[in-house]
Amino acid sequence: MTEKPSSQNLLITPPGGNLESHHWLELAAEAERIAGGVIYLTPNSGLELRNVSQEPAKHIRRLHHSQVLASPLHAEARELAFALAQYDFAGRQVGVEGGDGLISALNLDLCVVLDGWTADILVAGQPAKTGIMVEEVAQEVLSTLHQAPQGTGTTPTLEASSQPIGWLPHEDNPGTVSLGARVADNAIPAAHAEMIGRMEVATSVTPWGGIVFHDLSEEDADVVVRFLAPRGYIFDAGSPLLK
């Protein structure tokens, strides 16, 4: 991740929303030091430090600033988003979707839709290239940039009932689940971010301002819910707090 300052706020957009444990620990420490001890979740898989009081640490400045979104429940989409983030897309917003329709619905400048070993590329929501081998996607996306007008994407909105919230079983790996959560007021205290980092669980921030904890055993998932739910983390898509 790299940072993108906006006035006194610092916006961090990890590629595909992917965050490892050490990222949470680094963000927690920096939020405590320069931003009043709070990290805010924002649309488009962003995290923001607000009212920054001084220059961020070098390791925060080196975090990768990306304009690549990904389907949070599709591991291959998240991996490809991470790989694509090394390229310069000239300010255009790119998405990688696993076929659930949620990312392509955002009408991004460019969207890669995975289908097994191949992929399609959409430009402003319309098909531009089809049947591309996955290993060729990066070059094909770069060669398609000239077709994509900037700024066609929309601010992500999605009914809570359709967001990845709650207990999300892995059909291909029984006994393993992911957990999706929203956070009260989209605000994560630094102490909570540190706790998430110490869980040593792979996470991603969703385009709709949620967090997904990936690849947990059912027992570990139950512990996470019991620990975070009393602290303002919402694991029920039907909660009135999300309306």
Predicted confidence at residue 146, as pLDDT, reads 81
Residue 41 and residue 47: Cα distance in Å, rounded?
A: 5
Q: pLDDT per position in the chain (243 positions), as tens?
A: 545 544 589 999 999 999 999 999 999 999 999 999 999 999 999 999 999 988 887 677 666 577 899 999 999 999 999 999 989 888 888 999 998 899 998 888 899 999 999 999 999 888 999 999 999 999 999 999 888 777 655 566 777 768 999 999 998 888 999 999 999 899 999 999 999 999 999 999 999 999 999 999 999 999 999 999 999 999 998 899 887
**Where along the chain do its domains lie?**
3-61, 68-147, 160-242
Predicted confidence at residue 106, as pLDDT, reads 86
- Structure tokens of 231? 């602290």
Residue 9 and residue 14: Cα distance in Å, rounded?
A: 16
- Count of helices and strands (H, E) across the chain: 6, 16
Predicted confidence at residue 168, as pLDDT, reads 95
| Total-model pTM | 0.90
Residue 113 and residue 96: Cα distance in Å, rounded?
A: 6
- For the domain covering 160-242, report its CATH number: 3.30.70
User: Architecture of domain 68-147 in CATH?
Assistant: 3-Layer(aba) Sandwich (3.40)
Predicted confidence at residue 185, as pLDDT, reads 92
